Chain A
Amino acid sequence: MTYHNPPTTPRKSATFDDYTLSEIRRAAQTGIYDIRGAGAKRKLPHFDDLLFLGASMSRYPLEGYRERCSTAVTLGTRYAKKPIELKTPITIAGMSFGALSGNAKEALGRGATLAGTSTTTGDGGMTPEERGHSEKLVYQYLPSRYGMNPDDLRRADAIELVVGQGAKPGGGGMLLGQKISDRVAEMRTLPKGIDQRSSCRHPDWTGPDDLEIKILELREITDWEKPIYIKVGGARPYYDVALAVKAGADVVVVDGMQGGTAATQEVFIEHVGQPTLACIRPAVQALQDLGMHRKVQLIVSGGIRNGADVAKALALGADAVAVGTAALVALGDNDPALEDEYRKLGTTAGAYDDWHEGRDPAGITTQNPELAQRLDPVRAGRRLANYLKVMTLELQTIARAAGHNHVHNLEPEDLCALTLEAAAMARVPLAGTSWIPGQGNF
C-alpha cells in the first residue's frame, strides 16, 4: 500500500478516462469491436457555436406572425420533370425498415405528411405501409440493392442514390441477426438470423464517370420524372459535391459525422468523417464555383435538433436539412418515462444506442412484434408533425428577426461565431471581430 502524507486525491488519467478503460475491458472480454447506433457522441464544433446577429439599424426585421416569411422549398429543379415541393425545408432522413419497426416507419410517413415534407426509405426496400402513409417518399438506391425494383422506383417521388453517410463514410450497412425477422429476410433475400453486412461500394459502377451513366439509366427507367439525389458522408465535401454535380445530381445530400446510423462500429462513428459544421461551406463553395448554387439543391444533415440549427444550416447556404435521430426522439426514442427498462438493458434514457440489438423498449429500433406494438403510429406521427412544425416556426422566427421574407434569404452575413474553430469552419467572423480564421485579416 502506498501512503501519502498528507493524503492526495486519487487522480484518474485524462487519456485513460473511465469510458476508455471500460472499452479496453469490454474488448478484452468479448473479442469484438463495439457496435452501436446513432452518430458521433464526442464534443464537436457545432451550430451551438454560431449566433445570429438579428436586425437593428442596418437591417429591419419582419413582424412576427404578420409579415410573411416563406418556408417553401422545391427540390429537383435541374432535370426532373416532377420536382418535389415541400412546405418546410426540414425533411426526414433515410432509415430502413429492418433497422426500424414497421410502426416506426409508418409514424415517420404520417408525421412528415402532416408537416408537408418528405420521408425516405432505407437499406431494405420500400414497404407498402410506408408508401401509403407518405405523401412524398424518397426511395434510396443503395449498394446492397435490397428490395430494389423498377415498380418501386416509379412509385417513388424521388430517388436518393446513396454513396455514403456521415456516421460511416466508406462503410456499408449492418443489420445483425437479431433483427433479421422473416419479413426483413424476405425483403432482403437473405437467410433469417444471419449477421447482414451490406457492401460499401455499389456493385455496378465505380467512380463519378460511371455514376453519370448509372444516373442516366435511372432517369431512363423513370422517364426523367423523378428528382435524383446523391447522398454523401462528410468526407471531402468540396470534391464530393462537385463530382455529384458532374455526375448529374438534381440534389446533393451532405451528411456530417453526427448523422446517425442503425448500427456500425463505434470506432467508425467517432473517428471517420467531418463534423456537419465543417462540411457546409465547402459544399456550398463547390456549387457556387460551378454556378449551380440553388440550381442543384443542397440538403444538410447530421445533428440537426431545432429551428436554430436549421436556420444556421440555411444561412450557410443549404436549401434544406434532414433529421433522423431527432425524428426518432420525437417519436419516443430514449424517453425518460422508460427509464426502468433502459436500466435493465444496462443503460439510461438519453444514452441508449444499442439499436442493433432489437430490444428497444420504445418499439422503434426493433423487429420484435411485442415491442413494436408499443409504438402507436398515429400518435407518434402526430408528435413528429408537432416537432417539425415547431422547428419550422423557430426557423421563421429567426429569419424574420434577421429581416428575411424567405428562409432561403438567410446568409452567412447574419451570423457570427463563438469559437475560433466554428468561425473557421463556418467561415463567419468570430463574435466581436471581423476576423474569419483562414480567410486572411490577421
Chain B
Amino acid sequence: MRSIDLAKTPLRELNQGLHALKDGTNETEWEVLNPRGQHAIAAGVDAPVNVNIRGAVGYYCAGMNKQATVVVHGSSGPGTAENMMSGQVIVKGDASQYAGATGRGGMLVIEGNASSRCGISMKGIDIIVRGNIGHMSAFMAQTGNLVVLGDAGDALGDSIYEAKLYVRGSVKSLGADCIEKEMRPEHHEALSALLKKAGVDGVKTSEFKRYGSSRKLYNFNIDNADAY
C-alpha cells in the first residue's frame, strides 16, 4: 500500500503519482494521511484503484474521478466528486455545497448530510445521501439519480430535466417545474438496486417518494413566465 502524508508531501506529488497509474497497475491501494482540508485531493484519477483519505478534505476532492474508489474518512468541502465520470466516491462525514455537481457517472455516497445544491446540473451520476440535503439541490439536473434518506430543503429539483429524485423524508418545497411523480414498479426496482449498491440496508423503497420534471418549461411559452 502506498501511504502519502500530505503534512510532508506536496499535493502535486500525490496527484501526479495517481495520474501516472495505468489500468492493470499493482499499486491499487493508496492511503492519504493528514489531508487537513487541502483542495483537489485525488482529482483527475483515471485508474481502478482505492484511495483512502484519513481526515477532512477541502474543495473538489476526487473531482472528475474515473474508475477509482475514493473514500473520505471525514467530511468534505464544496464540489466533492464534481463532474465524476465513473467509479465510486464515499464520504463518511458530511459534504459541503455542490456535492456531485455535473457528475456524469459513477456513484457518490454521502453517509452524513449534504449541503445546498447537491447534485446541481447532474448528468448521469448516482448520488446517495444518508442524511439530509440543503436547498436548491438537483438544480437543472439532467439525468442520473439522487436518493435522499433524510429530508430535502427548499426548491428541490428547480428547472430539472430528466434526473430522478427519490426522497424518504420531507421536502420543504419543490422548485420550478419539479413535481411529485408516481413510484411505478420500475422505480422501486431501480431504487432498490441503487440502495443495494450503496450498501444501505433496512430501508424499504415504499418509504420514498419520487420527484421529476413536469416538462412544462421545456419549450418557452409566455403564459408560463410566472413560473420562473
**Interface residues of A, Cβ cutoff 8 Å to B:** 31-32, 144-145, 148-150, 153, 177, 189-191, 193-195, 199, 203-205, 210, 213-214, 216-217, 220-224
B218 touches A203 (CB 8 A): no
* Contact assessment for B66 and A204 in the assembled complex, using a CB-CB cutoff below 8 Å: no
- Cross-chain contact B82 with A189 (CB below 8 angstroms): no
Chain B residues touching A, majority SS:
loop
**A–B complex contacts, Cβ < 8 Å, 13 sampled:** A31-B223, A150-B44, A189-B104, A189-B142, A189-B143, A191-B162, A191-B218, A195-B219, A205-B78, A213-B59, A214-B79, A216-B39, A221-B44
Q: Which residues of B contact A210 (CB under 8 A)?
A: 59, 78
Q: Which of B101-124 contact A (CB under 8 A)?
A: 101-102, 104, 117, 120-121, 123-124
CA distance A144 to B112 in the complex (A): 28
Q: How far is the CB of B91 from chain A (nearest CB, A)?
A: 15
* Closest beta carbon of chain B to A391's beta carbon, Å: 37
- Asked whether A149 lies within 8 Å of B104 as measured between CB atoms, the reply is yes
Q: Let me know if A194 and B83 touch, CB within 8 A.
A: no
Contact assessment for B64 and A221 in the assembled complex, using a CB-CB cutoff below 8 Å: yes
Report the bound CA distance from A224 to B39 in whole Å: 15
B117: contacting residue among A149, A177, A203, A213, CB under 8 A: A203
A148 to chain B: closest residue by CB? B83
CB of B58 within 8 Å of the partner chain:
yes
Residue of B nearest to A219 (CB): B40
State the CA gap A217–B123 with chains docked (Å). Answer: 20
Which residues of A lie under 8 Å from residue B43 when comparing CB positions? 217, 220-221
Q: What A residues does B211 contact at CB under 8 A?
A: none
8 Å CB contact of A194 from B104, B139, B219: B219
Given B16, B79, B124, which contacts A205 in the complex, CB threshold below 8 Å?
A: B79
Query: Bound complex: CA of A31 vs CA of B222, how far in Å?
Result: 6
Partner of A223, one of B16, B64, B83: B16
- A203 to B118 Cα, complex, angstroms: 10
CB distance from A39 to the nearest CB of B (A): 23
**Other-chain residue from B12, B121, B219 in contact with A224 (beta carbon distance below 8 A):** B12
Main secondary structure of the interface of A (DSSP, over half): loop
CA distance in complex: A195, B219 (Å): 5
Q: Which residues on the A side are within 8 Å of B166 (C-beta)? A: none
B60 within 8 A of A: yes
Distance A41 CA – B113 CA, assembled complex (angstroms): 50
B98 in contact with A203 (CB, 8 Å): yes
What 16 additional pairs, Cβ within 8 angstroms, besides A203-B120, A223-B16?
A144-B121, A145-B121, A148-B104, A189-B104, A189-B123, A189-B124, A195-B219, A199-B121, A199-B140, A204-B97, A210-B59, A217-B39, A220-B12, A220-B40, A220-B44, A223-B15
Which B residue sits closest to A145, measured CB to CB? B102
- For B142, give the chain A residue with the smallest CB separation: A189
Q: Which size class do B's interface residues fall under?
A: 35 or more
Q: Bound complex: CA of A205 vs CA of B19, how far in Å?
A: 24
Cβ-defined contact, A204 with B120, below 8 A: yes
| Complex-state Cα separation, A54 to B124, whole angstroms | 59
Within 8 A of A (CB), among B30-55: 39-40, 43-44, 46
When the two chains form their complex, are residues B142 and A204 in contact, meaning their CB atoms are under 8 A apart?
no
Closest residue on chain B to residue A222 by CB atoms: B44
Is there a chain A Cβ closer than 8 Å to B63's Cβ? yes
User: Would A150 and B218 count as touching, CB distance under 8 A?
Assistant: no
Residues of A within 8 A of B12 (CB): 220, 224
Q: Which residues of the partner chain B approach A220 to less than 8 Å between Cβ atoms? A: 11-12, 15, 40, 43-44
Given contact pairs A210-B59, A216-B39, A223-B16, A32 touches B123 in the complex (Cβ within 8 A): no
In whole Å, how far is B14's beta carbon from the nearest beta carbon of chain A? 9
User: B85: CB under 8 A from chain A?
Assistant: yes
Complex contacts, B19 vs chain A, CB 8 Å: 223
CA distance A32 to B222 in the complex (A): 6
Bound complex: CA A190 to CA B15 (Å): 33
How far, in whole Å, are A204 and B81 apart by their CA atoms in the complex? Answer: 11
A32's nearest neighbour on chain B, judged by CB, is B222
Chain A CB count within 10 A is highest, among B66, B83, B161, B219, for B83
Which of B16, B46, B60 is within 8 Å of A213, CB to CB? B60
Q: Decide if A221 touches B219 in the complex (CB within 8 Å).
A: no
Report Cα–Cα, A32/B140, bound state, in Å. 23
Question: B140 contacts which chain A residues (CB < 8 A)?
Answer: 199, 203
**Which A-chain residue is minimally distant from B18 (CB atoms)?**
A220
Which residue of B is nearest A221, CB measured?
B44
Is B85's CB under 8 angstroms from A213's CB?
no
| Most A Cβ at <10 Å: residue of B82, B85, B117, B139 | B82
- Expressed in whole angstroms, the Cα–Cα distance for A78 and B104 within the complex equals 32
| 7 shortest interchain CB distances as A-B pairs | A221-B44, A31-B222, A204-B79, A217-B40, A204-B98, A145-B102, A194-B218
CA distance A356 to B178 in the complex (A): 27
A224–B120 CA distance with the chains assembled, in angstroms: 27
Determine which residue in B39, B44, B139, B143 has the highest number of CB atoms from chain A within 10 A of its CB, and name it: B44
Whether A150 touches B102, Cβ cut-off 8 Å, given contacts A191-B162, A213-B59, A223-B16, is no
Contact A203 B219 (CB under 8 A): no
A312 to B103, CA, bound (A): 44
Q: Is the CB of A213 within 8 A of B39?
A: yes
